[in-house]
Amino acid sequence: MMALIEFGWMPPVGSDKQSRHEFMANLRHGLALIGGHFDSVWFPDHLQFEDRPFLEGWTTLTYLAALEPRLKVGHIVLCQLFRNPALLAKMAATLQYLTEGNFITGIGAGWQEEECKAYNIPFPGPGQRVEELDEALQIMKKLWREDHATFEGKYHRVTNAFCQPKPEPIPPIMVAAFQPRMLRMAARHADWWNITFSDLAKTKELVSKLDEACQAVGRDPKTIRRTAMIGCYCAPNERKLKELTDKHTGPFGLGLVGTPAQLVEQFKPFIDLGFDYFMISAGGFPDPTTLEMLAHEVLPALNAR
């Protein structure tokens, strides 16, 4: 039996083209559109990105969780450099309690030096960032499971740390990983693995490397859920598609583009590689066309195959 395909929505991070009232109204409309269809809503964790408006990730996601309690919530992904890992474990346990089990802990080593310099946050080299994340994940799991957690690492430590209420269930840990050391860490610690959409050849190569990393630590690769962050433009006809894609802005490419039937075919090769969860930036939003097509046509078709 094929795994159920699930979608999550990545809403806009902010806007300098809409008033606050317009932005919030569009955000609520998007959540209403996906409720009962998509599984989740996701928000990134950046403090600044060049000069574009950017809402803070934890605050925003907490608000979204309260606004639409039918949806799971997660960050894509938390920067471990921003928060003490014991405090982060406590924050996650609290949000898991308040959402009644709907929080997914997405986390990465951190990569954007610009924002760390701007906010006076230490930005060590890549090797240390990976080691710090490894220790952070060990601490988080200890606080979620033990009544009095103690850990002495090279970079982080906790002493008799107490975290109640415990998260129930313990949130899935999702690690974003592309490079060899991060892939090995995902194999050791992650319940879910996340990548950014790239072409199929690169994705196949990453899947192969993850499988090798899992085998190296004695883990069955099938026990880690494969997820991908992906952009989509979807419309019922070419005219509407062109109208949406002509307005594309932002640092990343268009992603998957087509009618619902065409998008179904574009998703299939990734599903064949074991991906069953897609965090989607819906192109053209606040125009609701892409979200509506994904919720009402693409997702049902993928799950009827």
Domains and CATH numbers, the chain: 39-176 (3.20.20.30)
For residues 87 and 12, what is the distance between their CA atoms, to the nearest angstrom? 27
Tell me the average pLDDT across 11-33: 96
Mean pLDDT, range 126-153, rounded to an integer: 98
pLDDT at 248 > cutoff 90: no
Residue 1 is predicted with a pLDDT of 58
The kind and range of the H/E element at 7 are: strand 6-9
Helix (H), strand (E) at residue 227? strand 225-234
Residue 8's nearest CA partner among 140, 106, 101 is: 106
Contact 174, 192 (CB under 8 A): yes
Return the closest-CA partner of residue 281 out of 5, 6, 11.
11
Lowest-pLDDT range of 72-86, 92-106, 236-250: 236-250
